[in-house]
């Protein structure tokens, strides 16, 4: 089954790019952009949209011309940020610092090389048994009922449990973890009201205070986890000075690990269930041949693209795809559109677990900001799905699904997916 994507009749100029319905279901709009204007300046906001695979890669790989210093836009989700929220952060929290995602070289390089070590392929490749234990434990919690909400009961559980252990945080703080992660996702959404921004600021302060204490504890009591590394390792800063991270820098890095890792991995796991159950022929293929699971995961990443869009800012007057882009312009690179580019992917809306070039997707980005956690995310999903498919038999959708993706200018995914299954 291909996702049925109806062509969009409306003229591009009439489209509100922050319309919640459009953000929830952007594929017809993306196709129109690719067909009519691969580099397109939205007349209402002035924001440039880049929608073809090749052009997106060009932007993402050129960190000199296209800056990631979009921290301010990201915090407000592209809209207005209320003063009261800024005051809460200023009086009770730590100031925002641009570390990895929102920093350019040489700043970016310093932080990235420090944190890269924690997520190296070698470290991640040893995590198989630990991930197997976790997914079995997660399934045990609802197994006897023969049904679950995939998003809440499985998909959100796995990455949070894995990262909690990597960060050295006890699981009794799991509820707080999820709350903070949700608040950060909401902050990026572009749909938050002033009241929501204020509530998010309060959550952010709680997160900062919690982790500031943990970091302090680890200064004198180092263990083998990322918090201890952040608390104790020296790094070479952008001025070539060897020093320890300041608390605000440590917190900015931790926040990124929490947000960037949890919602994205969770959304991909949920999407894989959705795609498999919607496409029984593809389900049968992976159930009968587990060696197809990695490619199935790559197809889910391609079709969903949980980090659907990303910001960039032009550092010079430039030209892209024949369109002039002035210095200072705000750009949205549409990763989700690039992943359905018909020039690269045949029948791009189709879920095909045997697709030869599925891995050419750009769901993890490109260039120096390419996802720091991609080895970990892949390891989690490649390890979990064989167990999921062995234990949850004859999976089908149950009552209550609306299959609606929550609107968010950067992230995309289903927040609920109710299924039933037979026990082995
Ligand atoms: C399916 C799961 C994931 C997807 C699809 C994903 C996607 C992405 C994308 C597209 C970027 C690039 C952003 C840009 O172009 O500016 C990125 C960066 C990043 N990701 Fe992921 N991510 C995932 C999981 C994770 C995990 C598990 C972690 C860590 C625990 C993580 C941490 C980060 C960080 C820290 C960055 C910023 C890196 C930098 O700027 O150098 N991600 N991710």
Q: For residue 4, tell me if it sits in a domain.
A: no
Q: Is the peptide bond before 106 cis (omega within 30 degrees of 0)?
A: yes
Examine residue 3 and state whether it is found in any structural domain, yes or no.
Answer: no
Residue at 6 is within a domain: no
Range of the domain at 61: 12-422
* 83 within a domain of the structure (yes/no): yes
Q: In testing the pocket of ligand 1, which one of 260, 339, 379, 381 has its CB within 8 Å of the most ligand atoms?
A: 260
Q: In this structure, what token pair is assigned to residue 284? A: 């049968």
**Which of 373, 379, 383, 413 for mutating ligand 1's site (highest number of atoms within 8 Å of CB)?**
373
Integer Cα distance of 310 and 202 in angstroms: 25
Which of 63, 143, 114, 1 minimizes the C-alpha distance to 310?
63
| Euclidean distance between the first and the last CA atom of the chain, given in angstroms as a whole number | 27
If one counts the domains in the chain, the total is: 1
**106 domain residue, yes or no:** yes
Distance 377 CA to ligand 1 centre (A): 9
Does residue 2 fall inside a structural domain?
no
What SS3 state is found at 323? strand
209 in a structural domain: yes
pTM score: 0.93
On whether residue 5 sits in a domain, the answer given is: no
Rounded Cα–Cα distance for residues 273 and 113 (Å): 35
Distance 421 CA to ligand 1 centre (A): 32
Paired tokens of 73: 């836009």
Q: What is the CATH number of the domain that holds 99?
A: 1.10.630.10
Predicted pLDDT of residue 79:
63
Residue 369 Cβ inside 6 Å of ligand 1? The answer reads: yes
Longest dimension (CA), the chain: 63
Per-residue pLDDT of the chain (424 residues; tens, 9 = 90+): 445 678 888 899 999 999 999 999 999 999 999 999 999 999 999 999 999 999 999 999 999 999 999 887 766 656 677 888 888 888 889 988 889 999 999 999 999 998 987 787 887 888 999 999 999 999 999 999 999 999 999 999 999 889 888 887 787 887 787 788 778 777 777 778 888 888 888 988 999 999 999 999 999 888 888 888 899 988 888 888 999 999 999 999 998 888 788 889 999 999 999 999 999 999 999 999 999 999 999 999 999 999 999 999 999 999 999 999 999 999 999 999 999 999 999 999 999 999 999 999 999 999 999 999 999 999 999 999 999 999 999 999 999 999 999 888 889 999 999 999 999 8
């Amino acid at each position: 089954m291909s996702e049925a994507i109806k062509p969009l009749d409306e003229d591009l100029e009439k489209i509100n790019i922050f319309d919640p319905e459009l953000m929830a279901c952007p594929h017809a709009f993306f196709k129109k952009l690719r067909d009519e204007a691969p580099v397109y300046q939205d007349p209402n906001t002035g924001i440039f949209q880049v929608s073809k695979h090749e052009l997106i890669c060009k932007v993402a790989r050129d960190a000199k011309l296209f800056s990631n210093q979009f921290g301010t836009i990201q915090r407000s989700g592209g809209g207005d940020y209320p003063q009261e929220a800024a005051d809460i952060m200023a009086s009770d929290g730590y100031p925002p610092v641009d570390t990895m995602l929102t920093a350019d070289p040489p700043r970016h390089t310093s932080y990235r090389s420090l944190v890269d070590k924690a997520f190296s392929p070698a470290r991640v490749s040893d995590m198989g048994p630990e991930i197997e234990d976790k997914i079995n434990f997660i399934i045990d919690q609802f197994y006897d009922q023969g049904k679950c909400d995939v998003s809440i009961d499985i998909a959100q559980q796995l990455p949070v449990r894995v990262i909690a252990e990597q960060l050295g945080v006890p699981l009794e703080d799991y509820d707080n973890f999820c709350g903070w992660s949700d608040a950060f996702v909401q902050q990026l959404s572009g749909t938050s009201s002033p009241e929501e921004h204020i509530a998010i600021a309060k959550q952010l302060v709680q997160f900062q205070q919690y982790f500031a204490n943990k970091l302090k504890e680890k200064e004198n009591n180092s263990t083998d986890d990322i918090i201890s590394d952040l608390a104790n390792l020296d790094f070479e800063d952008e001025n070539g000075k060897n020093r320890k991270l300041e608390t605000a820098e440590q917190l900015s890095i931790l926040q990124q690990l929490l947000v960037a890792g949890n919602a994205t991995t969770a959304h991909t796991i949920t999407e894989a269930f959705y795609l498999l159950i919607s496409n029984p022929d593809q389900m049968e293929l992976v159930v009968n041949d587990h060696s197809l699971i990695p490619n199935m995961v790559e197809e889910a990443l391609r079709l969903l693209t949980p980090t659907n869009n990303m910001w960039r800012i032009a550092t010079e007057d430039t030209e892209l795809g024949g369109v002039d882009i002035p210095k200072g312009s705000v750009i949205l690179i549409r990763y989700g559109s690039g992943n359905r580019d018909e020039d690269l992917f045949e029948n791009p809306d189709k879920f095909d677990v045997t697709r030869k070039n599925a891995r050419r997707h750009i769901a993890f980005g490109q260039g120096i900001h390419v996802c720091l956690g991609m080895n970990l995310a892949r390891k989690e999903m490649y390890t979990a799905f064989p167990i999921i498919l062995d234990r949850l038999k004859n999976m089908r959708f149950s009552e209550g699904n609306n299959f609606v993706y929550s609107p968010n200018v950067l992230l995309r995914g289903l927040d609920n997916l109710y299924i039933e299954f037979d026990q082995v």
